[in-house]
C-alpha cells in the first residue's frame, strides 16, 4: 500500500486559496488518490479523488503531478467553515487514514 | 447525502455492561467499516466487512466484535465495557470494487455521524 506524507498543520487566510500538499512517492499505477476532510469530530467527508488527470468539483480541485508521486488539494476560496483535518489517501481498497493536515482558516 | 446511520449518538454506561452500537446503510454497499477515534487523534480501523457473513479485524486490536448478517446492517458489540473503551466509534460503507483493479475510483467511503461512548 502506498504511504502518504502530509504536513501536520497549515494556516490560510479567509478568502484565499488553500493549497494542501500530499506526497505519495510509492503509488502504484492503478491506485487512486482520495481526499477527505473531518470537521471537528464529525465523520470524515469525501471531497474528491483522481487517478492521473486533474479533477475539479464543487468543493475543490485536485492536481496530480505527471509522475503521480504527489498531489495538491486546492480550496479556491477558503472560508472559516473549511477549518478541518484533511486526509490524503492512496489505496484501491480498504481505506486507512493517517494523521492528515489540520487546516485552520483565519479571518 | 450519504444514507448511513449510527445509533445511539451518545452513550454513557457503567463498567461491565454489554453494549451494541448500531450501523445501517441503505445504499446497498457491500463493504462496511468500523473506526475508533479518540479526541484529536487519528482514525483507527478496527473491523471491516466485504459482504454478508464476511468480517475481518482491522489494524487496531479491539475487544469488540462485529457481525454482518444483512448487507445493510453492521453492528459492533462490546461484551463487557471498560473505561478504556471510551472513544468515538465511526461506521462507514463503500461500494465494492470487486476484482477490477481499475475500479478503485468507486471506493468512496460514506461515514455515519458516529457514536460517542463513555464508560464510567
How far is the first Cα of chain A from the last one, in angstroms, to the nearest whole number?
A: 38
B30-74 pLDDT, tens per residue? 999 999 999 889 999 999 998 999 999 988 878 899 999 999 999
Distance from CA of B49 to the nearest CA of A (A): 10
Q: Which of B44, B115, B17 is nearest to B74 (CA)?
A: B115
- B9's CB contacts (< 8 A; 6+ apart) are B113, B114, B115, B116
Q: What is the DSSP letter of B29?
A: -
- Is any Cβ of chain B less than 8 angstroms from the Cβ of A76? no
Residues of B in contact with A92 (CB under 8 A): 97, 101, 104, 107
**β strands within B1-120, DSSP E:** 4-7, 10-13, 19-25, 31-37, 43-49, 56-57, 65-66, 76-78, 87-94, 109-111, 115-119
Q: So what's the pLDDT on residue B33?
A: 93
Residues of B in contact with A46 (CB under 8 A): 108-110
A4-55 pLDDT, tens per residue? 999 999 999 999 999 999 999 888 888 889 999 999 878 999 999 999 889 9
Q: Stretch B66-85: mean pLDDT, rounded?
A: 96
Q: Which helix (H) or strand (E) holds A49?
A: strand A45-50
- Is any Cβ of chain B less than 8 angstroms from the Cβ of A93? yes
Amino acid at each position: 500500500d502506498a504511504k502518504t506524507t502530509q504536513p501536520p498543520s497549515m494556516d490560510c487566510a479567509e478568502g484565499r486559496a488553500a493549497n494542501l500538499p500530499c506526497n505519495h512517492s510509492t503509488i502504484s499505477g492503478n491506485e487512486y488518490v482520495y481526499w477527505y476532510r473531518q470537521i471537528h469530530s464529525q465523520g470524515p467527508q469525501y471531497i474528491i479523488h483522481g487517478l492521473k488527470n486533474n479533477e475539479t468539483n464543487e468543493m475543490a480541485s485536485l492536481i496530480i503531478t505527471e509522475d503521480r508521486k504527489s498531489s495538491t488539494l486546492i480550496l479556491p476560496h477558503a472560508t472559516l467553515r473549511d477549518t478541518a483535518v484533511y486526509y490524503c489517501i492512496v489505496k484501491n481498497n480498504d481505506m486507512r487514514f493517517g494523521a492528515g493536515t489540520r487546516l485552520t482558516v483565519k479571518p | 447525502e450519504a444514507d448511513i446511520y449510527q445509533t445511539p449518538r451518545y452513550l454513557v454506561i457503567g463498567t461491565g455492561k454489554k453494549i451494541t452500537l448500531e450501523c445501517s446503510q441503505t445504499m446497498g454497499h457491500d463493504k462496511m467499516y468500523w473506526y475508533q477515534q479518540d479526541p484529536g487523534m487519528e482514525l483507527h480501523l478496527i473491523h471491516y466487512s466485504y459482504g454478508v457473513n464476511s468480517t475481518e479485524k482491522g489494524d487496531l486490536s479491539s475487544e469488540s466484535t462485529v457481525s454482518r448478517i444483512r448487507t445493510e446492517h453492521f453492528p459492533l458489540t462490546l461484551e463487557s465495557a471498560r473505561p478504556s473503551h471510551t472513544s468515538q466509534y465511526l461506521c462507514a460503507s463503500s461500494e465494492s470494487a470487486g476484482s477490477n483493479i481499475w475500479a478503485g475510483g468507486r471506493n468512496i467511503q460514506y461515514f455515519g455521524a458516529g457514536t460517542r461512548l463513555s464508560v464510567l
